[in-house]
Structures are given as C-alpha cells and as structure tokens.
Amino acid sequence: MKKQFFLLIVVTSLFVSGIFATSVTRYVSPTGSNTPPYLTLGTAAHEIRHAVSISNSGDVVMVDDGTYILSTDIVITKGVIVSSINGSDVTIVDGNNSVRCFYLDHVDAAIEGFTIQNAKYLGGFGGGVNINNNGTVRNCTIKNSEARDGGGVALDNGGLVENCYIYGNTAIYGGGIRLLNGGEVRNCVIKGNTTTNYGGGVNIWNGGKVKNCVITDNTGPHGAGIRTRNNGLVYNCIIYYNNGDNYEVDGSGYHYYNTCTTPALPGTYSTNSISSVPLFTDLTPGSEDYRLQSTSPCIDVGMNFSWMNTVLDLDGNNRIVNVIVDMGPYEYSTPLPTDTDGDGVADVDDDYPNDFDRAYNNFYPAGGFGSLAYEDLWPGRGDYDFNDLIIDYQFKTVTNASNYIVETYSTFVVKAFGAYFKNGFGFQFANNNIAAADIVSVTGYDLQEGYIAIEANGLETGQSIPTIIVYDNAYNILQHTGTSIGVNTEISAPYVTPDTLNILMDYTQNTYSLSELDLPNFNPFIMVDMVREIEVHLPGYHPTDLADQTVFGTVDDDTNPANDKYYKTVSNLPWAINIPETFEYPIEKRDITAVYLKFAQWAESGGTLFQDWYKDEPGYRNNSFIYTHN
C-alpha cells in the first residue's frame, strides 16, 4: 500500500510535468511466459533486466513475488521505476554472492519494495545498489552484501535512499552505506554492518547527508557507527550501541544537528544534540525494536524538513507528530486505545468489546430496581393497603457506538399481590416517538387468559402508543398457597419466591435514540380482574386507548381529562406509586396512610412534601404493619 502510494506520486508528477506522453507498465514474474513486451503478468519477463532494457523513461516495471537470482546486475539509466507488487518480504533480488544487484543513474530511476541480498562487488561502489549521480532506493531491505565502497548502498554525486533497512553488509569503506560527493539517506535503520576501515554503518566522504536514521550495532576501527569527513552532515539521527566509536570526524565542514549519540558531541560541530540513552523499545538480541519508548528523550526534538510533509516514517505513519519531528526513523505517537471490534468505542469503554453492533448498557433506574405498588379497587379507594401488586422493575437498553438503541431487556420481578382479583400488568411507552413498525419484536410476556390481543411483533393491538402486556393474570405468575388473600402479603401465610419476567424488545437499528425511548416516563398499569378496559395507572398518567373512560370521575376517582387530572382522588391521593428502590410494602388490609405516616401529606401536597416518605426515617413508618417473611 505504502509502496503504491509512493509510486503514484512519482508517476503522477511525471505526467504533470508533461515530459512523457504515455507510461507503459511491464511485468516480471517467475511464472510469466517471458514474452516481450511483457505487458501482462501472463506474458511477464523472467528477469527484471529484460523488462527494464525495453522500457523508456516514464515506464514502470512491476515485479511479482519471487526470488530473482542474478547473474549480472540490473542497470537502470532511464527514468524507469522498478517496483515489487507485494513488497520486500516476498520479492527478493539475490546477487548470488557474485554480482552487484542494481545500478541506477537517472534522476527519475527508482527501485521500490525489494529485499536485496547476497550481492558482491569487491571491485568498487555498491554491493546491493550503486546510485551514480541520481536515483532513488525506497522501502527496501538491503542485507548481507559486500563491496569495496558501500557494502549495502553506495551513493556517488547524489541520489536518495529512503525508508530502508540496511543490515549486515560489509565493505572497506562504509559497511552499510557510503556517500561520496553528495546524496541523502533518510528514515533508515542501519544495523549490524561492518567495515575494515572507515564507517561501519555509514561513511561520508566529501559531502552527503544522513537524516532520521538509527545507526546501531555496526563495527569498524574508524567510526563504527558513522564516519563523517569533509562536509558530511547528520540530522535527527540516533547513533548508539555501535561496536566501537559511535562517530568519527575528519577534515572540515562536517556537522551534527539534533542527533543523539555518545559521547556527547562537541559544540564546535554539533547543534541541539544530546547524549542521553535513547530508550529504544527493545534491545534484546534477535528482537530489537528501535521504536521509541514514550519517555524517550529523542521525541519531539528533531529538526523539521519540508519533505516530512509527504514522506511517511519507517512504519508508514505520519513523519511529524506533535509539531516537531522525532530523532530516528520512527515517529512516536501516543498509542490509540484498543478497539477490538472496530466500532469506534475503545474496549475499556465498550460494554460489548467484541460486538460491532453494541457498545453501551443503559440502565433505568440507573442504580438498581425501582418498584411499583397498586391498589386495585379503583375507582373506589378500597382498603388502600397498596399491596394488590408489588412489582420491581429495571430496564437495560443497549445502544451502539452511534448512540442508537439496539434492544431493551426489561426485568419485572413479581413479589406480591394481596388481591382476590386476577389482575394483569403492562406498560405503555412514554410517547409514540418510536413507530410500532420499528419495534421489531417483543418476547418474554406471559399471556394465557385470552382477553389480550397482540400484533405479530408482540405489541398490544389497538394502541396508538406502543403498549406491552407483561402478563394477563398474576395468579399464573406466583402460585397461590390457598391460605390467604393473594400471595406474600400476610405474614402467617407461606412465602412464595418472587418470579421474574424478562421482556426483550428489539428495535429497527440505527434509528432511535435513548432519549426518544424515554423510559423514565414509561407508563405502567394494571388491568383489574381480567377486564381489559379497567386500567389503574400512576397518578397523572394517561389511560391507554383501550381503557373505559366512562369510569373516570366515579366513586372516589377525581380524574378529569379537561384539567389533565388522572388517577387521583379529590385530595390527590393515588392508586399507584413508583419509587426508585425496593418498596417495603404494607401487610394485608392496612391502609398505607397508617403504615407510611408521611404518605398522605406527600400525595396531597402534589409530591412536594416528604418526597422521601418511603424511607425508614424516624417517625416515618409503623414497622409492625410492614410485610416481612422468613
């Protein structure tokens, strides 16, 4: 990918310059038919040099995976780009320990994405590659090669080596790289090279620049890391852990800028350099990693150059992070938190780290269960013991990374019903923001009595606001023991373990928000004694479309839709309550106003006084009338 990106830039610039009317792409592959002019992989040349020799400036030679063992070097003296298709790991050019691999001499000649190895040119310049005057080597690994000058690469009078690994090469002058009278090397790791004389890693003779390289573990008697003679310039390099002197200078005009090496560079030929330990990620032999640790002194202390705006670092990341370039070929950036499922929510924040479609659990109530308590003799006040249904509830709504609702798991725990009546329970959404058709399915309800009609998706039929009936007869939920009114409201009667119903609501995806669902304003109600039309709601909440409104305003009920008053007595006492915690409810036939001593004041004040009336505070309740069990 990175390789093709570079290639595109070069090719495009050739077109823009108008020098070449057309660009021909030729192919090289071990499995081609070796048929000129090699315009497809099927007719690809077997040898790179044959495709190069019939190419013209502006052409591109693409090289398929394979190991290409040379008997003579590949000479590129035209503006031809020779690139691997799939990168240096799988595209190998091998000098067979007998020949140099590449010779470049043209300003637009380039080789990209190869491993170049086992080259040998003891007679002169460049074991792996010799760049003479001009040419570019990019994204290559050049290793185990040998020459008199520049075992890996020799640059004479110019040229560019960029984003390469230079490993284990040998020469008399410049084991890894030799620069003579110019040229530039940047963003490279130059490691484990050997000279028998000058510059184990790099030797600069009469001009040449090295920028943002790690030069390490090289060996030689004069500048094991680098030797800079006459106008050798070094920028943003880390020259450390070489087997001998990290650097040696000779002649005049050499200078080191923003470089990390030891011993400390003298101020006479150094600017902004440091000698601190660079803090590489790993120095374990065999698994060395020259990326910088977060605390490295080499971060954000380099000298910026304009080429850094377009050239990536050796990992293919932005060359400049945090305004100032780092020393060495790898730019440090704060690691992004892990996001295993790639939904944009970091694992640490993702309640579903392996599920792209889900990210967050949202609970209502947030802290645990809320509870509802009902009186079922509406519109009469009845015994007002508020235990005709005691049910705990909690909603868990799952949202995705874009904060749209996915589904809601509703938990209803039926704890008690002190009622002769066979009551049902359900709830209506707070509004009709969510179209009924977008509630894909509702599951988990218990409907056995036949008086509830539901749609295919599980919503109740005939409702303009989505409505879910959780069960239609409490006696089907908790087994009656035969010894009392209802279940779990008389201390003398056997205790029945509460039963939990789990209602799952699935929504159309990526459509609705949690606030549109508005669970805090959900509208729960009971249906009395299997008469669908008799609904008892929380005070102030509206009936559903199926309620018999002719009952409003009869007996003790003072409901008056004209005044928006619903399910309250004249003095504002309710028939249902909703509290944000588990409710310690009255035993059978005990009027709640005699059990919770602040209840009447709370209700009659419209909820302004004693908002904590249900707490066990001094003077708040008569504990002898509260249900307990063994």
Residue 102's nearest CA partner among 130, 66, 123 is 130
Instruction: Please choose, out of 156-164, 276-284, 342-350, 456-464, the segment that lies near Ca ion by the rule CB under 5 A.
Output: 342-350
Tell the burial category of 331 from Cβ atoms under 10 Å away from its Cβ (0-12, 13-18, 19+). Answer: buried
What is the C-alpha separation between 447 and 451, in angstroms, rounded?
A: 9
**Single residue of 315, 341, 506, 518 touching Ca ion by CB under 5 A:** 341
Q: Single out the residue of 239, 292, 345, 442 in contact with Ca ion (rule: CB under 5 A).
A: 345
Which region holds residue 594: left if phi is over 0, alpha if psi is between -120 and 50, else beta? alpha
DSSP character at residue 112: E
Residue 322 or 549 having the CB closest to Ca ion: 322
Binding-site member from 326, 446, 535, 558 for Ca ion (CB under 5 A) = 326
Smallest gap from Cβ 403 to Ca ion, in A, equals 13
According to the 3-state scheme, what is the secondary structure of 571-612? CCCECEEEECCCCCCECCCCCHHHHECCHHHHHHCCCCCCCC
Cα–Cα distance, 225 to 251 (Å, whole number): 18
Nearer to Ca ion, 27 or 332 (CB): 332
Stretch that binds Ca ion, among 49-57, 63-71, 317-325, 609-617 (CB under 5 A): 317-325
Task: Tell me whether residue 20 or residue 495 sits nearer to Ca ion (CB atom).
Answer: 495
Residue among 250, 300, 499, 518 that touches Ca ion (CB under 5 A): 300
Query: Which token pair is 167?
Result: 């490993």
Give the interface segment with Ca ion, choosing from 95-103, 104-112, 378-386, 565-573 (CB under 5 A). 378-386
Pairing of strands 247-250, 214-216: unpaired
Cβ-closest position to Ca ion: 418
Q: Is 79 in the site for Ca ion (CB under 5 A)?
A: no
**106 vs 141, 154, 422, 602, CA distance in Å?**
21, 15, 95, 92
Please work out the total of residues on this chain that contact Ca ion, with binding judged by CB under 5 A: 16
359 binds Ca ion (CB under 5 A): yes
With beta carbons less than 8 A apart as the criterion, state whether 321 and 288 touch. no
Q: Which stretch binds Ca ion (CB under 5 A): 309-317, 346-354, 408-416, 532-540?
A: 346-354
Q: How far is the CB of 240 from Ca ion (least distance, A)?
A: 19
Within a 13 Å sphere around the CA of 519, how many CA atoms are in the beta-carbon half?
21
Torsions phi, psi for 138 (to 5 deg): -140, 140
Is 4 within 8 Å of 138 (Cβ atoms)?
no
CB of 399 to Ca ion, least distance (A): 10
CA–CA–CA angle 129, 134, 138 (5° rounding): 55
Q: Closest approach of Cβ 575 to Ca ion, in Å?
A: 12
User: Rounded to the nearest whole angstrom, what is the least distance from the CB of residue 33 to Ca ion in the complex?
Assistant: 49
The answer to whether 350 contacts Ca ion (rule: CB under 5 A) is yes
Specify whether the CB–CB gap between 376 and 382 falls below 8 A.
yes
**Which one of the spans 320-328, 426-434, 438-446, 492-500 is the region binding Ca ion (CB under 5 A)?**
320-328
**Of 141-149, 197-205, 354-362, 491-499, which part binds Ca ion (CB under 5 A)?**
354-362
For position 418 contacting Ca ion by CB under 5 A, the verdict is yes
Closer Cβ to Ca ion, 133 or 387, answer by number: 387
Residues in 384-413 that interact with Ca ion by CB under 5 A = 385, 387-388
Residue with tokens 């058709």: 437
Piece in contact with Ca ion (CB under 5 A), picked from 6-14, 414-422, 465-473, 527-535:
414-422
Q: For Ca ion, which is the closer residue by CB, 85 or 320? A: 320
Is 490 a binding residue for Ca ion by CB under 5 A? The answer is no
In eight-state DSSP terms, residue 142 is E
Tell me if 375 contacts Ca ion by CB under 5 A.
Answer: no
* Phi, psi for 255 (deg, rounded to 5): -160, 145
Q: How far is the CB of 489 from Ca ion (least distance, A)?
A: 6
Q: How far is the CB of 492 from Ca ion (least distance, A)?
A: 15
Binding Ca ion by CB under 5 A: which of 288, 315, 355, 529?
Answer: 355
Distance CA 359, CA 493 (A): 46
| Rama region for 444: left / alpha / beta (φ>0; ψ in -120 to 50; rest) | left
Residue choice 24, 321, 377, 551 for contact with Ca ion (CB under 5 A): 321
Q: Using the rule CB under 5 A, is 438 a contact of Ca ion?
A: no
Alpha-carbon distance of 523 to 297, in angstroms, equals: 62
| 313 counts as binding Ca ion under rule CB under 5 A | no
Q: Which structure tokens are listed for 352?
A: 């579903």
Nearer to Ca ion, 161 or 359 (CB): 359
Q: Is 76 helix (H, G, I), strand (E, B) or coil?
A: strand
> For residues 110-129, which are near Ca ion according to CB under 5 A?
none
Q: Pick between residue 61 and residue 327 the one whose CB is nearest to Ca ion.
A: 327
Point out which residues bind Ca ion (CB under 5 A): 300, 321-322, 326, 339, 341, 343, 345, 350, 352, 355, 359, 385, 387-388, 418
